[in-house]
Amino acid sequence: MNTLRNRQLYLHARPSGIPTSDHIHQREVPVRCPAQGQVLIENLYLSMDPAIRGWMSEKANYFVPIALGEAIRGSTLGRIIESRHPDFRVGDHVVGIACNAWEDFSVVGAEQIYKVSTDNGFPLNYHVSIFSAVGLTPYFGVLEIGKPQPGETALISAAAGACGSLAGQIARIKGCRVVGMAGTDEKCRWIVEELGFDAAINYKTCGDLSAAIGKTCPQGVDIFFDNVGGEILDATLLNLNKFARVIFCGAIANYNTETAIPGPYNYWQILAKSATVRGFLSIDFLDQFPQALEQISAWLRDGQLTFAEDIVEGLEHTVEAFSRLFTGENKGKLMVRLRDERNPAPLFSDLCLEAEE
């Protein structure tokens, strides 16, 4: 008996720079039947997240590296077309966090997914963007680690990205003066004119970055939400205020190189300014997720948060879309839409009949 084929992207070779189609190949594999306790998901959206680049390396981090020949792992939003678990029904929409593959259909354990809906009045795809780690990470980073106070200055790197754009707006809601760093004049315009940042720095054209930060943040930096690391972190350390908080969200400058990145030359400023530096993952605050999502929803309804999505159509464009995370071409949350959720999902039995023809 023939089986329905499943398009899947897998790691063919380990990249030394930005991943391309030389490193990520497509293949067709059979759709698997879920075992007891599992579900079969038709993926609708793939979340493009910088952390996936780290998993393509042989070096282990907070997730096991993707093996050569293994499907690319990531977060997805989809709908169930077959369930072998009593808590999930056919037709349920679910999110899988870093457990599904870049493919049309995924089989996962019920413990790896959670249900979502549009009952809150927001689009379904928000559950793989602002209502996922993309929104929760800046929420907890700014509020729990940054502890913003009215009148303080918050500096955000990669401020036009998904996390950075929200981090700056949350700091602004809490009364901070917010300055963002981005790599194009258009992104700098966008975060100021449309997101409400107080000022912006084009780090590619400003010349002496430390001096530019000092000029744009004349009262110094109290909170630094860092998504980049490298030279941007080093330049910021020279502008910290006493008891500043450095929120270590990511280090995108380090993701596409196999050579060791030198540590910050100005690290001594952490001691001199009695600064706090803390790395974190959103799951560190798992017990607070419901309250956080409720607050994010309220800010969206009140118009205090503006959120941009960059949606690319089609699995065949996934590799190209993913590379845009590292070239600075995207604005807001980047995702790939595999199919329109308004179209009816096939039943698993229908898929089998289709495959038998």
Domain boundaries, the chain: 5-129+308-350, 133-302
Q: Is the pLDDT of residue 196 over 90?
A: yes
Q: Find out whether 39 and 79 touch, Cβ atoms under 8 Å.
A: no
Q: Is the pLDDT of residue 351 over 80?
A: no
Determine the pLDDT at residue 257.
63
User: If you average pLDDT over residues 116-123, what whole number do you get?
Assistant: 90
Determine the pLDDT at residue 356.
37
Q: Find out whether 95 and 132 touch, Cβ atoms under 8 Å.
A: yes
Axis-axis angle for helices 230-237, 209-216 (nearest 10)? 50
Give the helix/strand (H/E) hosting 46.
strand 38-47
Determine the pLDDT at residue 256.
59
**Angstrom distance (rounded) from CA 114 to CA 335:** 19
What phi, psi does 59 have (nearest 5°)? -75, 130
- Other beta carbons within 10 angstroms of residue 290's beta carbon come to 8
For the chain, how big is the Rg over CA atoms in Å? 21
Determine the pLDDT at residue 100.
82
Place of tokens 């329905």: 4
Q: Is the pLDDT of residue 254 over 70?
A: no
Q: Find out whether 243 and 275 touch, Cβ atoms under 8 Å.
A: yes
Fold classification of 133-302 (topology level): Rossmann fold (3.40.50)
User: If you average pLDDT over residues 24-31, what whole number do you get?
Assistant: 94
Residue 332 DSSP class: B
Q: Is the pLDDT of residue 261 over 70?
A: no
Mean pLDDT taken over the chain:
91
User: If you average pLDDT over residues 54-74, what whole number do you get?
Assistant: 87
**Amino acid at position 226, single letter:** D
Closest CA to 114 of 128, 130, 103: 128
Determine the pLDDT at residue 251.
80
**Angstrom distance (rounded) from CA 90 to CA 283:** 28
Q: Cβ neighbours of residue 207 under 8 Å, at least 6 residues apart?
A: none
Q: pLDDT band for position 326 (50/70/90)?
A: confident
CATH of domain 5-129+308-350: 3.90.180.10
Q: Is the pLDDT of residue 260 over 80?
A: no
User: If you average pLDDT over residues 199-213, what whole number do you get?
Assistant: 97
What phi, psi does 181 have (nearest 5°)? -110, 135
* 65-74, 230-239, 248-257, 325-334: segment of lowest average pLDDT: 248-257
